Amino acid sequence: MSFSAQTKDELARIEGPSCCRTAELAALLMLSGRFVSGEGLVVATENAAVARKVFKAFKALFGLSACVEVRRKQRLKKNNEYVVRVADQEGFQTALEKLGLVTATGKSRSGLKRDLVKMECCRRACLRGAFLARGSVSSPRGAYHLEITVRGRKTAADLAGLMQQLGLEGRCFPRKRGWVVYIKDGEQLAGALTQMGAHSALLDFENARIYKDMRNQVNRLVNCDTANVGKMVLAGVRQEANIRLVAERLGLEKLSPPLRQVARLRLQNPEASLRELGEMAQPPLSKSCINHRLRKLERIANNILTNQIRRPSSHS
């Protein structure tokens, strides 16, 4: 089961007070419900727990009966699809009006009904219902991404505004025939799971995030160390080549004792660091002193290559 499906299974089992259940059901129906002539309200979902939640909510909140049927999807993975049907019955229109799906005159409306999300607990329930209806969240082992697809721009703006009221930075953009409200930041995604009440999913997410952050940090350190080792090796090869050139053209005996000592140490230890060369010197020398003398040897080699030194001479 995917991380998204596990999260929905957990959220679908949350039952709060009637005000929160109403806000949750309203968001769920706003995104996944549709009116069908002669059949009433129809809600289709691939999650059995979500279908059960809709069925129970209509009965508990409004005393309305519903039926559930299971059918096999023909496309893609051919998963089961659960269809909840609520027929037009006594109290049906009143329930739709309370849920903000229709106006007092019976006309359909879009967007969230403000009266349903006055309290913070109801706003959290509303976000939970929207996620259960059309939401998905990627595995925390990959890129951080939570999104909810909606039908219209107003609904997307209302949902993004609801997220902002909960301290979440939800953003929206158009996609094909609808809109998407999404979160990509890891901290924000963890906050969304917390607000919706997906505590088990949050623990799994945080564990995966900690592991991924540690792995990335280790990789950065390894890459940094590898780069430093590579630079050190290249520097050692260049210094060794410079010294061999000086030895061939001038002879190390023509160098001053300090330069001659460092030159011989580098030839004998081509892979040693500056600190290690300094520890081998007698008396021991600092890294800056070793580096200064190696640079001096490099300048002598450069002078040889540019024909500025034409005959053996002594250098200090």
Burial of 4 (0-12, 13-18, 19+ CB in 10 A): middle
CATH number of the domain at 101, please: 3.10.28.10
In a domain, 207, yes or no: no
Provide the whole-model pTM: 0.68
In a domain, 211, yes or no: no
In a domain, 130, yes or no: yes
Domain boundary (197, 228, 249) is at 197
Domain boundary (165, 197, 229) is at 197
Same domain, 182 and 231: no
In a domain, 88, yes or no: yes
In a domain, 66, yes or no: yes
- Contact assessment for residue 256 and residue 315, using Cβ atoms and an 8 Å cutoff: yes
In a domain, 313, yes or no: no
CA distances from 201 to 33, 192, 211 (A): 26, 11, 15
Same domain, 249 and 165: no
**Those residues with Cβ within 8 angstroms of residue 234's Cβ, 6 or more apart along the chain or in another chain:** none
Same domain, 186 and 237: no
In a domain, 161, yes or no: yes
In a domain, 316, yes or no: no
Residue for token digits 């799994």? 204
Walk along the chain (316 residues) and give the pLDDT tens digit of each residue. Answer: 789 999 999 999 998 899 999 999 999 999 988 888 777 899 988 888 999 999 999 999 999 999 988 887 766 566 788 999 999 889 988 998 999 888 877 787 777 888 899 999 999 999 999 999 999 999 888 888 999 999 888 899 999 999 999 999 999 999 888 899 999 988 999 999 999 999 999 988 888 878 777 777 777 877 787 777 778 778 878 888 888 888 888 888 888 988 989 888 888 888 788 888 889 988 998 989 988 989 888 888 888 888 655 444 444 4
Same domain, 18 and 148: yes
Same domain, 193 and 276: no
Same domain, 11 and 84: yes
Instruction: Return the pLDDT at 313.
Output: 45
Torsion-angle region of 224 (φ positive above 0: left; ψ -120 to 50: alpha; else: beta):
alpha
Instruction: Return the pLDDT at 78.
Output: 63
Same domain, 95 and 172: yes
- Print the domain residue range for 236: 219-305
Q: Residue 85: helix, strand or coil by DSSP?
A: strand
Same domain, 179 and 70: yes
Instruction: Return the pLDDT at 76.
Output: 58
Same domain, 62 and 151: yes
Same domain, 186 and 276: no
Same domain, 153 and 281: no
Report how far residue 64's alpha carbon sits from residue 59's, in angstroms, rounded to the nearest whole number.
Answer: 5
Residue for token digits 């002598």? 300
- Which long-range CB contacts under 8 A does 88-92 form with residues at least 24 apart? 88/40, 89/40, 89/64, 89/65, 91/62, 91/63, 91/64, 92/40, 92/41, 92/64
- Contact assessment for residue 62 and residue 90, using Cβ atoms and an 8 Å cutoff: no
Domain boundary (136, 167, 197) is at 197
Same domain, 225 and 158: no
Number of domains in the chain: 2
Residue 44 DSSP symbol: E
CA distances from 131 to 10, 54, 283 (A): 12, 14, 72
Query: Taking the CB of residue 105, how many other CB atoms lie within 10 A of it?
Result: 6
Report how far residue 82's alpha carbon sits from residue 32's, in angstroms, rounded to the nearest whole number.
Answer: 12
